[in-house]
Amino acid sequence: MADKTVSAETGTLTTLRNLWPYMWPADRADLRARVTWATLLLVVAKVTLVAGPYFFKWATDALAHASKTPPPLPAFMLAPVMLVIAYNVLRLVQLGFNQLRDALFARVGQYAVRQLAFRTFVHMHQLSLRFHLERRTGGLSRIIERGTKGIETIVRFVMLNTAPTILEFALTAGIFAYTYGWKYVAVVAVTVWIYVWFTVKASDWRISIRRDMNESDTDANTKAIDSLLNFETVKYFTNERMEAERFDRSMARYEIAATKTWTSLGWLNFGQGLIFGLGTVIVMCMS
């Protein structure tokens, strides 16, 4: 039997390549415009996020400079107060742009979900009679539900999380290089690279665990729905206990797999926190 294991990197790239026509539909200029505007708002939001701390810096510098030769109180307070107000205005602008970006992109994400769900539904009706006679209604409905939610998550993750993170890192690296020098940028870049490498490797490890959990969940749902659809037959042969035991065995598998999934997620989060913590310690020691 061929090995069906797919790495996180390969699987993600393949998925993104298949989803791209739905995120940038050739026949929907209005959706492409929404993606363009959402991207512009994303850039503006990240620029305001990076620029915000500078207002705190300027407010502190203004207080330190004014304390040496203090002018009258109103003038002494004017510059720091205005800078703090400007900082909070920037935060509000960033929040507003983020919410507007999400609102613009919502139609794109839901369009992708709708189109892929439609194709899946049509494909179900094109399957053979034998497939449908096997009564996989429960498992099939759970797979479609899980796939639909996964599509929306992937689309939002790529457009609203991954791309903004890359942009934010580039802006932050430029500020670090200008303010502190390239040694700090090198440490930050190495830390981020180790973080990404660890995340990819840990995700590869978690794929098989997550797959076991999904399969056991599908199996349990299949047994539950099919048993209820055949309620009259189960009652006629008094097989309630046997059906309950079959369902419980599937749920026991799901319990074990779900526990492993959450445990592996804990190790992933701990490793990511450790990497960032060590990087922060190194940068602070250098300063």
State mean pLDDT over 55-71. 65
Dmax (CA) of the chain = 95
Instruction: Say what the pLDDT of residue 207 is.
Output: 85
- Residue corresponding to tokens 């800078």: 83
CATH number of 1-155: 1.20.1560.10
How many residues are recorded in the chain? 287
Distance CA 83, CA 64 (A): 14
Distance CA 76, CA 158 (A): 47
Instruction: Say what the pLDDT of residue 272 is.
Output: 92
State mean pLDDT over 265-270. 94
Q: Name the band, by pLDDT with cuts 50, 70 and 90, for residue 73.
A: very low
Asked if pLDDT for residue 140 goes beyond 90, the answer is no
Distance CA 208, CA 211 (A): 5
- Residue corresponding to tokens 């094109």: 126
Query: 47-61, 174-188, 214-228: which has the minimum mean pLDDT?
Result: 47-61
- Please give the sequence-ordered ranges of beta strands (E in DSSP) within 77-233, or none if there are none: none
- Cβ atoms of 187 and 286 within 8 Å: the answer is yes
Kindly report the pTM of this predicted structure: 0.71
Tell me the per-residue pLDDT of 229-260, one tens digit each, with 9 for 90 and over.
888 888 888 888 898 998 899 899 999 999 99
Instruction: Say what the pLDDT of residue 3 is.
Output: 46
Burial 218-244 (b: 16+ CB within 10 A, else e): bbbbbbbbbbeeeeeebeeeeeeeebe
* Average pLDDT in the chain: 81
Q: Name the band, by pLDDT with cuts 50, 70 and 90, for residue 66.
A: low
Tell me the per-residue pLDDT of 150-179, one tens digit each, with 9 for 90 and over.
877 777 777 777 777 888 888 888 888 888
- Extents of the domains making up the chain: 1-155, 180-287
Question: Which among 14-18, 80-84, 115-119, 194-198 has the top mean pLDDT?
Answer: 194-198
- Cβ atoms of 137 and 86 within 8 Å: the answer is no
- DSSP-derived letter for residue 24 is S
Residue 8's nearest CA partner among 196, 257, 267 is 196
Asked if pLDDT for residue 199 goes beyond 80, the answer is yes
